[in-house]
């Protein structure tokens, strides 16, 4: 299905590319096993001039209500790609999902190096986006290199851990003097360190247990102004309780999720429960919908 849309707040200069210059962009995702080619330009009211079919929404730095979004499908802008060569002729920029498209777990998908080499040789710009927040951009660069994709550049990589940090920068969170509580892994920690935003939780709360007894109340930091929930292989009841206390009891505390994916590709053998499980736990005990900073 064609599910791409442009939210009303969508940044018109992203990845260092001005969308007003009629860039022709292709999206490749595991979501629907399809590719899209479309171009942005100021001449069209929606910002979209041409599209094929897609299974991936454009990368975003922060997610808000989709009420004002422009759906490619509803606007009649989706066309099935019948001739693959047309994609190369009409598209200048290729945006790839990572999990299930470039790799599965730590296994590189067959023929990926050849495809990327062909695109680069043809002068195409290549970018990689991922909802997986377990690594920072620096961490993902290391993974690309370890898989033999040596030509990958740091500025070509956009992870949801980076998107969470970018959202806090856009909203001037640092100026509030507050800190962030993290349910997640080192990727979010490193990205927040890069922008100088203080945080607690994350890996330091792995393995913590709560001894429930009469009269016990888990103390929490009243200076937490945001809770970021990313994929966390060491999530526990302490983290869930701490997050709900911050969100429910700290005035103005924001609930941010790096994605709501039901499953993810941690290995090449099967699908694994995704961040929707972690974010769902916090949604369930707070009654709050998160601000999404996914791709």
CA pair distance 190, 164, nearest whole angstrom: 11
48 vs 142, more confident? 142
The mean per-residue pLDDT over the stretch 127-148 comes to 96
CA pair distance 224, 209, nearest whole angstrom: 21
Q: Give the phi and the psi of residue 171 in degrees, each rounded to 5.
A: -90, 5
CA pair distance 161, 207, nearest whole angstrom: 22
pLDDT bucket at 50, cuts 50 / 70 / 90? very low
Rounded to 10 degrees, what is the CA torsion of 103, 97, 62, 48?
Answer: 180
The answer, yes or no, to whether residue 14 has pLDDT greater than 90, is: no
Pick the catalytic residue from 74, 92, 99, 232. Answer: 92
**Residues of the chain with pLDDT > 90: what percent?**
65
For the entire predicted model, the pTM comes to 0.75
pLDDT bucket at 283, cuts 50 / 70 / 90? very high
Which of 52-66, 142-156, 265-279 is most confident? 142-156
The reply to whether 261 belongs to the active site is no
- Tell me, what's the pLDDT at 83? 81
In sign, the C-alpha dihedral spanning 98, 101, 106, 112 is negative
The mean per-residue pLDDT over the stretch 68-77 comes to 65
Beta bridge partners of 158: 129
The mean per-residue pLDDT over the stretch 3-26 comes to 42
DSSP 8-state class, residue 99: B
CA pair distance 119, 127, nearest whole angstrom: 11
The answer, yes or no, to whether residue 189 has pLDDT greater than 90, is: yes
- Tell me, what's the pLDDT at 84? 74
CA pair distance 39, 20, nearest whole angstrom: 10
The answer, yes or no, to whether residue 285 has pLDDT greater than 80, is: yes
Q: Which of 229, 227, 224, 228 is nearest to 250 (CA)?
A: 224
């Amino acid at each position: 299905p064609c599910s791409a849309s442009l939210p009303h707040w969508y940044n018109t200069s992203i990845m260092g590319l001005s969308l007003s210059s009629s860039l022709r962009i292709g999206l490749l995702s595991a979501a629907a096993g399809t590719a899209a080619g479309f171009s942005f330009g100021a001449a069209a009211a929606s910002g979209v001039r041409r599209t094929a079919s897609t299974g991936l929404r454009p990368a975003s730095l922060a997610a808000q209500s989709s009420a004002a979004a422009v759906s490619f499908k509803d606007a009649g802008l989706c066309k099935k790609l019948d001739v693959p060569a047309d994609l190369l002729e009409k598209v200048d920029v290729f945006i790839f999902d990572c999990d299930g498209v470039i790799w599965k777990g730590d296994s590189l998908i067959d023929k990926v190096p050849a495809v990327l080499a062909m695109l680069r040789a043809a002068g195409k710009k290549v970018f990689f986006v991922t909802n997986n927040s377990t690594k920072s951009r620096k961490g993902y660069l290391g993974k690309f290199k370890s898989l033999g994709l040596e030509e990958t550049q740091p500025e070509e990589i956009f992870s949801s851990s980076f998107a969470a940090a970018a959202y806090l920068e856009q909203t001037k969170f640092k100026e509030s003097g507050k800190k962030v509580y993290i349910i997640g892994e080192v990727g979010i920690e490193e990205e927040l360190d890069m922008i100088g935003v203080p945080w607690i939780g994350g890996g330091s709360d792995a393995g913590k247990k709560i001894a429930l007894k009469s009269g016990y109340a888990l103390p929490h930091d009243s200076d937490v102004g945001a809770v970021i929930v990313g994929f966390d292989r060491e999530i526990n009841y302490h983290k869930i309780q701490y997050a709900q206390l911050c969100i429910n009891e700290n005035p103005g505390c924001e609930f941010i999720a790096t994605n709501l994916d039901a499953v993810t590709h941690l290995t090449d053998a099967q699908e694994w429960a995704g961040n929707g499980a972690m974010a769902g736990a916090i949604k369930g005990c707070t009654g709050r919908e998160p601000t999404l900073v996914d791709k």
